[in-house]
């Protein structure tokens, strides 16, 4: 049986300023997984669900658009 996954979307268009977790890290809903920069403001992006962060889909410095997938969380 395949585990379900949750995709963490970009809340807005901007740049990935800092990634605060690594792949295989256990995360809880509300944990900050990365920080975006947009219009000179820092915006924390949080895990939307409890689970294991299995894949980061972006790198620091990368430009992203609103709704773009940033990470995958395995909900086990």
The CATH number for 65's domain is: 2.40.50.100
Q: What pLDDT score was predicted for residue 41? A: 95
Distance CA 58, CA 68 (A): 10
Tokens for 14, please give them.
Answer: 């901007």
Cα maximum dimension of the chain? 44
Tokens for 34, please give them.
Answer: 């990365």
53 and 45 in contact (C-beta within 8 Å)?
Answer: no
Structure confidence by residue, pLDDT tens digits, 51-76: 999 999 999 999 999 999 999 999 97
Domain total for the chain? 1
Q: 16 lies in which domain range?
A: 5-74
Secondary structure class of 49 (helix, strand, coil): coil
Tokens for 21, please give them.
Answer: 């977790």
Structure confidence by residue, pLDDT tens digits, 4-39: 999 999 999 999 999 999 999 999 999 999 999 999
Kindly report the pTM of this predicted structure: 0.90
């Amino acid at each position: 049986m395949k585990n379900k996954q949750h995709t963490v979307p970009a809340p807005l268009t901007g740049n990935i300023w800092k990634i605060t977790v690594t792949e295989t890290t256990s995360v809880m809903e509300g944990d900050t997984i990365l920080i975006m920069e947009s219009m000179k403001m820092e915006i924390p992006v949080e895990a939307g669900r409890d689970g294991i962060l299995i894949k980061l889909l972006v790198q620091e410095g990368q430009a992203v658009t609103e709704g773009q997938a940033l990470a995958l969380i395995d909900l086990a």
